[in-house]
């Protein structure tokens, strides 16, 4: 299978688009013609940090496209199906068996090793073996091989070119609220950082009927968008003390907080603004060694939970179609976060994602 792929060969955001070939699907794999793919901050982190994934590699993990071919053992999908590609998981470890695939024991191998579990690579470029399978997809390409497990069938009347970010960033924010924290109607939440993940959390909190939604950020335009999408209070953390403001407004604190910033101060404030028996979710980090201060007594006396969250505890076959339905019903208008770029302008799109100039860039394969 001939294709064009953006190949990351060093530790910069440069990934020149080159002709490449892609393997045929094996028994449990599907070949997908990528229509469009979102850019997520994990792509930037992997592209610029040595040691996390091998080189050369094709990144991209928010692909959306059309199934072209399926392996002999695939039962869930057929050629012509519209799919959103999401994170991969092994399907056999204890957490996969518990229906919590985002905490799969094999995550390093299935999402970051650039190879199938048997060690084979799926892409050849310039006569050299090239790493694929990034998040079980490597969607910065015109075609991708996914596993049946991480290709999620979606309704055909939804705009496919928009849907890729549901596979990672948006399900992470929305799932944190709806699945991990389990916010119910009438409860309150503070969302620290309203980029793509935080704005998805704000929209999901509104879907769930939150009484109060505090959005904290340092960029005024993002705070304005958060208010448009459902935040009841916008707080510029660079100008005011977000913790004081949330506590003054709620007396005892919010039911839930979510940090999407990986900023030490924001994490500490997110924990401290949670009231009795509430929970704070942590979904971003700077590096494996990052640590933050937790006030033990305050958390103990309030019975607070602090929990890590990956991919919003999504069971993608259930959760992604649900988010598509919310979008189609006008209740999850994530199209307001998006800017489209032609695939050939991937350098500009990566730079805009990195600088924050665009909240959610999507590459159109064309
Ligand atoms: Zn991601
Ligand atoms: Zn697993």
**How confident is the model over 183-199, as pLDDT tens digits?**
999 999 999 999 999 99
Ligand closest to 39 (CA) is 1
Give the whole-number percent of the chain exceeding pLDDT 90. Answer: 100
Interval 321-346 mean pLDDT: 98
Structure confidence at residue 161 (pLDDT): 98
Q: How far is the CA of 312 from the centre of ligand 1 (A)?
A: 11
List residues bridging with 37 in a β-sheet. 63, 363
Quick one: pLDDT at residue 6?
98
Check pLDDT > 90 for residue 209: yes
Would you state the pLDDT for residue 199?
A: 98
Ligand nearest to the CA of 171: 1
Share of the chain above pLDDT 70, in %: 100
Q: How far is the CA of 80 from the centre of ligand 2 (A)?
A: 28
Which ligand is the nearest neighbour of the Cα of 59? 1
With 90 as the cut, is the pLDDT of residue 306 above it? yes
Residue with tokens 């999908």: 77
Q: How far is CA 320 from CA 19, 80, 133, 191, in A?
A: 31, 19, 20, 21
Structure confidence by residue, pLDDT tens digits, 291-302: 999 999 999 999
Q: Is the pLDDT of residue 5 over 90?
A: yes
Would you say residue 366 has pLDDT above 90? Answer: no
**Model confidence pLDDT, tens digit, residues 84-138:** 999 999 999 999 999 999 999 999 999 999 999 999 999 999 999 999 999 999 9
Q: Is 297 exposed, middle or buried (0-12, 13-18, 19+ CB in 10 A)?
A: exposed
**Residue count of the chain:** 366
Ligand nearest to C-alpha 134: 1
What's the chain's average pLDDT? 97
Which residue ranges form the domains of the chain, and what is each CATH number? 2-167+333-364 (3.90.180.10), 173-310 (3.40.50.720)
According to the model, what pLDDT value does residue 60 have?
A: 98
CA of 115 to the centre of ligand 1 (A): 18
Residue 4's pLDDT is what?
Answer: 98
Which ligand is closest in space to the CA of residue 135?
1
Q: How far is the CA of 297 from the centre of ligand 1 (A)?
A: 35
Ligand 1 centre to CA of 86 (Å) is 9
CA of 250 to the centre of ligand 1 (A): 33
């Amino acid at each position: 299978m001939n294709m064009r792929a953006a190949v990351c060969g060093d530790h910069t955001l440069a990934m020149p688009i080159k002709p490449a070939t892609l393997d045929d699907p094996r028994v449990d794999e599907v070949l997908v013609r990528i229509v469009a793919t979102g850019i997520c901050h994990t792509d930037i982190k992997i592209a610029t940090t040595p040691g996390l994934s091998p080189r050369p590699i094709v990144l991209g993990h928010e692909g959306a496209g059309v199934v072209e071919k399926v392996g002999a053992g695939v039962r869930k999908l057929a050629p012509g199906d519209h799919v959103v590609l999401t994170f991969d998981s092994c399907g056999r470890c204890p957490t996969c068996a518990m229906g919590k695939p985002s905490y799969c024991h094999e995550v390093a191998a299935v999402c970051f090793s650039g190879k199938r579990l048997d060690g084979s690579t799926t892409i050849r470029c310039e006569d050299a073996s090239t790493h694929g399978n990034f998040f079980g997809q490597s969607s910065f390409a015109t075609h991708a091989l996914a596993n049946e497990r991480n290709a999620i069938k979606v309704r055909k009347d939804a705009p496919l070119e928009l849907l890729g970010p549901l596979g990672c960033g948006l399900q992470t924010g929305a799932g944190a609220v709806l699945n991990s924290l389990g916010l119910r109607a009438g409860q309150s939440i503070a969302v620290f950082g309203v980029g793509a993940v935080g704005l998805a959390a704000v929209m999901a909190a509104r879907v769930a009927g939150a009484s109060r939604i505090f959005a904290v950020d340092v960029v005024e335009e993002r705070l304005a968008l958060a208010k448009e999408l459902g935040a009841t209070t916008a707080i510029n953390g660079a100008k005011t003390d977000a913790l004081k403001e949330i506590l003054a407004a709620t007396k005892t604190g919010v039911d839930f907080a979510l940090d999407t910033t990986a900023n030490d101060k924001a994490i500490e404030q997110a924990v401290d603004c949670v009231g009795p028996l509430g929970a704070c979710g942590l979904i971003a980090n700077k590096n494996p060694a990052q640590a933050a201060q937790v006030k033990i007594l305050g958390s103990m006396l309030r019975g607070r939970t602090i929990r890590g969250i990956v991919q919003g505890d999504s069971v993608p076959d259930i959760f992604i179609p649900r988010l598509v339905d919310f979008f189609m019903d006008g209740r999850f208008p994530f199209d307001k976060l998006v800017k489209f770029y032609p695939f050939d302008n991937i350098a500009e799109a990566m730079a805009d994602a990195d600088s924050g100039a665009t909240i959610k860039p999507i590459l159109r394969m064309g």
